[in-house]
C-alpha cells in the first residue's frame, strides 16, 4: 500500500469556513476548504494503471463542492471526497490484463464515472460516483477504461493538452447534440450556416471553436476582455457581457436582444450554449432564432430556470440538457485537440502547492483562461519539448 499527497474536501472544512464567514456564501474562501491530505492508493489490480500525475486543469465542480452551493457533495460522499476529474499523467505500472497502455505512456483521463446502457454517465468520477478518488494528487491507481493516450503530437503545448480532458468531451457532446437537434428541424439544404452563441467559460469557448471549424458564425458573450480577445483571433466575435450589466434588468435584456438582432441580420441565434443559467438563461432565450436550440450541462449561477412555454412553442425552441460525453465519444473529442480545440490558458501555471489559491481565484473569476496545475516537478523526457 502506497500513501501519496492529494487534496481533499471534507464536511468539517466546509463547516469551519461557513462558521468563519457567518454562513455568507459570497465571503467563503475556497482555499481554506481544500486541504492537502494523505491518500492511500489501492493495490494494483489486473485491469488497473498506476500513474504519476504530471498536470491537471482546475475544474469548476471543485468550487461547487467546496462552497456546497448546489449540493453538499462531500457530505453525500460520506464526509470527505478527493476531487480532481481531469488530469494528464505518466504511466508507472500496469496490471497484467492491461494491453492498451505500458509504463512510460502519457495518458489523459475522462470523467464518465458510470456509463448507462447507452454510454451516458450516470455519475461523474471524483464527484458523485461512490468510491471514486480524484486526481488532484501526486499519483493515482485507476481502471484502464478511464484513460486515453495523450495526443502529444497534436500541436498543443503540455498545459493546453492538460486543459482539455474534461472540458473538450463536454463541449464535443453538447455541439453534436445541439447541431443534430437543429438539423432535425432545419436541414442543411435549407440553411448551411447557423449563428452560434456561447457565454463565458472554458466549455463555451471550445463549443464555439467547433462551430467555427464547421463554417458557422460564432459569438462569445463574456465579461473577460482577455478571453474575448483570444477567441477573436480565431474569428469568433466577442460581445461584452458587462456592457449589458450581466443581464441584471429587463432593459439590459432588451438591449442585448437588439444587439444580437443587429449582429445577425435580424435572425437571432440558432444555437446557444449556456453553462451558467441564472440571468444568462433569459439572455440566451431572448437571443434565440426560430427553431433555435439552447443546450446546457452546467448550472453555475442557478439550478432552476423559468421561461414562457408559449413563446418557446411558437418559436419552435428546444432546450436540451446534457451531462458529459459517452466513453466512446471521448476518443473523437480527443482527435480534435489542436485541430479545433485551441484552449486559452490562464497566464499563471500554478504549482501543486498553490492549488487552493487557484480555486479561490477561479471562484473570484479573475483568471484569464483555463487554470492549469503543474503537479510533477520533474517531467519525463517525452513531454519536455512541450513545456513552454
Ligand atoms: N456537466 C459537465 O460535464 C460539465 C463540464 C464542465 C463544466 N461544467 C459546469 O459548467 C460551468 C462552467 O464551466 P466552465 O468550465 O465552462 O467555466 P470556467 O472556464 O470555469 O469559466 C466560468 C465562466 O463563468 C463566467 N462567469 C463567472 N461569474 C459570472 C457571472 N456572475 N455571470 C456571468 N458569467 C459569469 C466567467 O466568464 P466571464 O466573466 O468572462 O463572463 C467565467 O469564464 C460550471 O458550473 C461547471 O461546473 C459542467
Question: Chain-wide mean pLDDT for the chain?
Answer: 97
How high is the pLDDT of residue 348? 98
Task: Tell me the sheet residues that pair with 351.
Answer: 374
Contact 83 CB / ligand 1 (< 6 Å): no
pLDDT of residue 120: 97
d(CA 166, ligand 1 centre) in Å: 13
The answer as to CATH 3.30.1490.20 being correct for domain 169-321 is no
Tell whether ligand 1 has an atom less than 6 A from the beta carbon of residue 165: no
Encode pLDDT of 211-266 as tens digits: 999 999 999 999 999 999 999 999 999 999 999 999 999 999 999 999 999 999 99
The answer, yes or no, to whether any atom of ligand 1 lies below 6 A from the CB of 227, is yes
**What pLDDT is stored for residue 373 in this prediction?**
98
| pLDDT for res 70 | 79
Question: Following CA atoms 81, 87, 92, 96 in sequence, which dihedral angle do they give, to the nearest 10 degrees?
Answer: 80
| Distance in angstroms (rounded) separating the CA atoms of residues 66 and 63 | 5
Q: Is the pLDDT of residue 21 over 90?
A: yes
- The residues spanned by each domain of the chain are 2-163+343-384, 169-321
Ligand 1 in reach of 203 Cβ (< 6 A): yes
Residue 367 alpha carbon, nearest atom of ligand 1: 43
Q: Yes or no: say if 164 and 124 are a contact pair by the CB < 8 Å rule.
A: no
| Contact 275 CB / ligand 1 (< 6 Å) | yes
Give the per-residue pLDDT at 69: 82
**Residue 25: what pLDDT?**
82
Instruction: Encode pLDDT of 30-84 as tens digits.
Output: 999 999 999 999 999 999 999 999 999 999 999 989 988 878 999 999 999 999 9
Of all protein residues, the one whose alpha carbon is nearest to atom 28 of ligand 1 is: 365
**Residue showing cell 476548504:** 33
* C-alpha span between 310 and 122 (Å, rounded): 32
Band (pLDDT 50/70/90 cuts) for residue 1 is confident
CATH pick for 2-163+343-384 out of 3.90.180.10, 2.40.50.90, 3.40.50.720, 3.40.50.620 = 3.90.180.10
pTM of the complete model: 0.97
* Helices 225-232/202-213 angle, 10° precision: 20
Average pLDDT over residues 165-169: 98
Amino acid at each position: 500500500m502506497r500513501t501519496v499527497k492529494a487534496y481533499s474536501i471534507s464536511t468539517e472544512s466546509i463547516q469551519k469556513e461557513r462558521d468563519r464567514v457567518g454562513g455568507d456564501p459570497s465571503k467563503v474562501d475556497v482555499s481554506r476548504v481544500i486541504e492537502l491530505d494523505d491518500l492511500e492508493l489501492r493495490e494494483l489490480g489486473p485491469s488497473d494503471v498506476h500513474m504519476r500525475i504530471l498536470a491537471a486543469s482546475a475544474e469548476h465542480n471543485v468550487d461547487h463542492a467546496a462552497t456546497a452551493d448546489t449540493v453538499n457533495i462531500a457530505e453525500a460522499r460520506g464526509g470527505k471526497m478527493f476531487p480532481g476529474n481531469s488530469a494528464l499523467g505518466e504511466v508507472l505500472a500496469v496490471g497484467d490484463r492491461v494491453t492498451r497502455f505500458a509504463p512510460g505512456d502519457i495518458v489523459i483521463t475522462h470523467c464518465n464515472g458510470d456509463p448507462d446502457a447507452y454510454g451516458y454517465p450516470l455519475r461523474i468520477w471524483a464527484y458523485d460516483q461512490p468510491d471514486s478518488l480524484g486526481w488532484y494528487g501526486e499519483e493515482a491507481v485507476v481502471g484502464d477504461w478511464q484513460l486515453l493516450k495523450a495526443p502529444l503530437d497534436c500541436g498543443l503545448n503540455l498545459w493546453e493538452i492538460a486543459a482539455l480532458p474534461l472540458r473538450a468531451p463536454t463541449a464535443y457532446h453538447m455541439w453534436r447534440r445541439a447541431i443534430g437537434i437543429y438539423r432535425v428541424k432545419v436541414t442543411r439544404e435549407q440553411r448551411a450556416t447557423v449563428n452560434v452563441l456561447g457565454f463565458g467559460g472554458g466549455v463555451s469557448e471550445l463549443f464555439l471553436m467547433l462551430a467555427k471549424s464547421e463554417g458557422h458564425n460564432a459569438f462569445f458573450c463574456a465579461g473577460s476582455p482577455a478571453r474575448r480577445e483570444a477567441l477573436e483571433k480565431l474569428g469568433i466575435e466577442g460581445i461584452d457581457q458587462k456592457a449589458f450589466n450581466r443581464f441584471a434588468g429587463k432593459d439590459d435584456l432588451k438591449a442585448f436582444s437588439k444587439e444580437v438582432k443587429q449582429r445577425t441580420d435580424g435572425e437571432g441565434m440558432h444555437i446557444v450554449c449556456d453553462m451558467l443559467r441564472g440571468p444568462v438563461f433569459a439572455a440566451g432565450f431572448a437571443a434565440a432564432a426560430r427553431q433555435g436550440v439552447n443546450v446546457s450541462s452546467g448550472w453555475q449561477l442557478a439550478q432552476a430556470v423559468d421561461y414562457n412555454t408559449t413563446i418557446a412553442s411558437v418559436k419552435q425552441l428546444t432546450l436540451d440538457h446534457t451531462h458529459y460525453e459517452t466513453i466512446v465519444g471521448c476518443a473523437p473529442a480527443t482527435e480534435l485537440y489542436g485541430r479545433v480545440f485551441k484552449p486559452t490558458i490562464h497566464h499563471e501555471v500554478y504549482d501543486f502547492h498553490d492549488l487552493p489559491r487557484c480555486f479561490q481565484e477561479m471562484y473570484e473569476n479573475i483568471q484569464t483562461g483555463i487554470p492549469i496545475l503543474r503537479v510533477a516537478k520533474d517531467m519525463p523526457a517525452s513531454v519536455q519539448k512541450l513545456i513552454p
